[in-house]
Amino acid sequence: MRLLQSDDQRDLASAVRAFLAETSPIGRVREIAESDAGHDPRVWERMAGELGLAGLAIPEEHGGSGAGRGELAAVLEELGAALTPSPLLGAVIAADLLLASGDSAAAKDLLPGIAAGTTLAVGVLPVPGDPEITASGGTLTGVAPRVPHGLDADLIIVPAGGELYAVRGADAARTALTTLDLTRPQARVEFAATPARHVGTADVDRALDLASVALAAEQLGGLRRCLDAIVEYAKLRVQFGRYVGSFQGVKHRLADMHCVLEQAEAVVRYATWAADEDPGELPVAAALAQSYLGRAYFRVARDHLLLHGGIGFTWEHDAHLYYKRAKTDELLLGAPRRHRERLAAHLDLLP
Amino acid sequence: MTELDDYTGRARAWLDGATADLPADPDLAAARAFMARLYDAGYSGITWPAAYGGQGLSAAEERAFQQASRDHPLPVGVFGIGLGMCGPTLLSIGTEEQKLRYVRPLLRGEEIWCQMFSEPGAGSDVASLQTRAVRREDGTWVINGQKVWTSVARQADYGLLIARTDPDVPKHQGITMFIVDLHHPGVTVRPLRDMTGESHFNEIFFDDVEVAPDHVVGEVNGGWSAAVTTLLHERVSIGMGGTRTERPASFAALSRTARERGLLADPAVRERLLDLYLQERPFDLLNAKLSQEVKAGVQPGARGSVVKLLLAELTLDSADIAGEILGPDAVAHGEGGGKIAGALAWGPGMALGGGTNEIMRNIIGDRVLGLPREPAVDRGVPFRELKVGTQAKEAGK
């Protein structure tokens, strides 16, 4: 079990960090968030083209670079830290669903565009309680109630009745949702006898495991950025004639948040390692990653907002952006109880 | 097969042989005899410099041996303070003569070490200690005072002690570290019965105990930084040692019990077990990660306080959760039971020994996160003018 990043992974992370600092600073994030655009197409184009991020975890035979989940996690940590409105996570889910489908013809047709970033694909992972989508005669009917970047997508990869389908985004009826987190837009996507290409079987469990690990990496990046921000502030802000970080009431909470960060990082490294190296261990590692990171990021984001005091409640301050992203991420793949239930099953705790 | 695999294989074979004839409950003589065998076989001080009796190998071999010994409970507990704290302190700041004289016998279990820092009036605020060391004209130091919470003092031959050597400067600046011979007639060791009902710790009284000048460790009046070095080793040693043995209230043990008792149908039981797993597993993974960092040459430093704090919380919380699983059986038991009651009674010790949870949080805040320190009312004030320990009582008279 390897729990340390490689030098290459660290180099990749710093390249992405530098790229995002240049192209997607927080002011630009806010502009995109408050506009109708779900993401910045120029940033996406450069991310996919110059940096090759869209195809990072896609095998070389399908136009990607065939890197591991560890490389992908390094990238997603940076996107999570920068709050970049980016369709990358959805594209990763789409590619993972396609790769697990066993349909090599569809993979050959669809993956090169996804890897190049020229086809913006999103994968749909239903949450328990979502309405059924049914397939009939080359069409789909039903509703995917919340699809991140669903409005931007050229291609929607969607499971229905245990099989997998690919639908052109433009063929579905899409309505933008009002989201708590403006940096991660979502859409209701409705299929009404919408033409759909059948793409083998839907291995939703594997795609959910991989998505759980990928999302956990984003959450780790956000968590670390929140802690950095509030530690920095606690060193500058003076009240009662003292830096607020010198009060034990503040210092001890920051220390506890740091303990959470240390453990969150270990969990993400472990889950990423399992995704790359140990398929047998992936399910429990993935369920652990979401059960731990979801709560961890939200609590750290919440406390980092609260410890800023009143300024943290203002629109102009960035704290609320992280708070909202953290809550959204915690629920993105299902409520915490879903991940805990999966974890309980893998730990043989179910009666 | 790599060289490391060879090493692990040899270690395992040696351990199988060496532990086969160990008595079930080894006494001190048996523990010493085992330590000597361990040393002679090359498994004590694996990463310590060969010049002082170590093996001069890398952390990889150390880890390989730890892993190989995981299934063999070794009777080395009594040597833990020496191996985990005193030895590393001597290696990092001791004189050449001290290293040559003391390290090899320490590694071979011929001499047992303890550490004497805390005092009745100096708990979290160790630097306010009142034990005095006064230099006679011939250079010999004479020590008077009292220490407390000293592990293995009854077995120990030597100990690292910090004492006040200059009361006229601020408290951190007038402390010196000494090597003290516990067999000196002026040393009185009294067991301290703790809340478990046993005596894990001792009080030590010093009555005109003489220490030769070459037994100063580090600089005269530079003992505080020496002590900080020792305490860093202590926290790493406690926190990272927490994964080596199976905890009685571990997730594995409690989920086994819950299954045997047919309790897993109860969602409240499953939730508590999941809570425990989500506390225990990330802690174990962090420990594994820190070990890999050490192997890669990154020392944990003050981050030892992170694992010390997390282990303390895990120890307390897991014993608490055990109550939910076992019900009244957790606190009332017949012959052969009592592991959970023992864990409940031991838990607070884990959260107090080696620094309280609050002190760990201060250290993480100050030294890991670099937060501004708490304004100290005693900063810059000569020790003599402070209200500390019995000095406060005298001042209040």
Instruction: List average pLDDT for each run of 10 residues in chain B, which is 397 residues long.
Output: 85 91 87 95 95 92 85 88 94 96 97 96 93 97 97 96 97 97 98 93 97 97 91 76 69 94 95 97 95 87 94 94 93 85 90 92 97 92 89 61
In a domain, A1, yes or no: no
Return the bridge partners of B191, or none.
B202
The number of domains in chain B is 3
A244/chain B closest Cα distance in angstroms: 8
In a domain, A15, yes or no: yes
- Alpha-carbon distance values, A330 to A336, A338, A341 (Å): 7, 11, 15
d(CA A234, CA A245): 4
Q: Is A335 on the interface with B (CB under 8 A)?
A: no
Do A235 and A162 lie in one domain? The reply is no
Which B residues in the span 329-358 are in contact with A, Cβ-Cβ below 8 Å? 358
**ipTM of the predicted structure?**
0.96
- Of A137, A168, A202, the domain-final residue: A202
In a domain, A142, yes or no: yes
- Residues A48 and A65 sit within 8 Å (Cβ to Cβ): no
Report which secondary-structure segment, H or E, holds A242.
strand A242-243
Active site (annotated) includes residue B234: yes
pLDDT value of residue A248:
97
Interface test with B, best of A247, A258, A348 (most B CBs within 10 A): A258
Do A59 and A137 lie in one domain? The reply is yes
pLDDT digits (tens, 9 = 90+) for A6-57: 999 999 999 999 999 999 999 999 999 999 999 999 999 999 999 999 999 9
pLDDT value of residue B395:
54
Q: Is A170 on the interface with B (CB under 8 A)?
A: no
In a domain, B101, yes or no: yes
Contact B371 A2 (CB under 8 A): no
Do A216 and A198 lie in one domain? The reply is no
Which residues of chain B make contact with A245, given a CB cutoff of 8 A?
365, 369, 371-372
Do B350 and B246 lie in one domain? The reply is yes
Do A132 and A266 lie in one domain? The reply is no
- Among residues B62, B234, B280, B324, the one annotated as catalytic is B234
Question: Cβ contacts of residue B383 below 8 Å, gap of 6+?
Answer: B128, B164, B166, B167, B168, B169, B170, B171, B174
- Of B78, B108, B138, the domain-final residue: B108
Q: What angle do CA B367, B373, B376 make, to 5 degrees?
A: 135
The string of DSSP letters for B188-219 reads: EEEEE--TTSS--EEEEEEEEEEE-GGGEESS
Do A334 and A211 lie in one domain? The reply is yes
In a domain, A86, yes or no: yes
pLDDT value of residue B393:
62
In a domain, B397, yes or no: no
- Of A137, A167, A202, the domain-final residue: A202
- Of A169, A202, A235, the domain-final residue: A202
Domain that holds residue B139: 113-223
Single-letter amino acid code for the residue at A336: P
In a domain, B378, yes or no: no
- The token duo for B142 is 């004479």
- Residues B122 and B128 sit within 8 Å (Cβ to Cβ): yes
Which has the closest alpha carbon to A141: A211, A104, A107, A189? A189
Task: For residue A323, give the CATH number of its domain.
Answer: 1.20.140.10
Which B residues in the span 297-316 are in contact with A, Cβ-Cβ below 8 Å? 303, 306, 309-310
In a domain, A351, yes or no: no
- The token duo for A311 is 């300024």
Q: Of A246, A248, A267, which has the smallest distance from its Cβ to B282's Cβ?
A: A267
Do B261 and B319 lie in one domain? The reply is yes
pLDDT value of residue A100:
96
Do A114 and A190 lie in one domain? The reply is yes
pLDDT value of residue A13:
98
Domain that holds residue A147: 7-202
Do A249 and A219 lie in one domain? The reply is yes
Q: Is B252 on the interface with A (CB under 8 A)?
A: no
Do A198 and A209 lie in one domain? The reply is no
The number of domains in chain A is 2
In a domain, A100, yes or no: yes
In a domain, B338, yes or no: yes
Question: Cβ contacts of residue A112 below 8 Å, gap of 6+?
Answer: A62, A63
**Intervals of chain A under pLDDT 50:** none
- Residues B200 and B342 sit within 8 Å (Cβ to Cβ): no
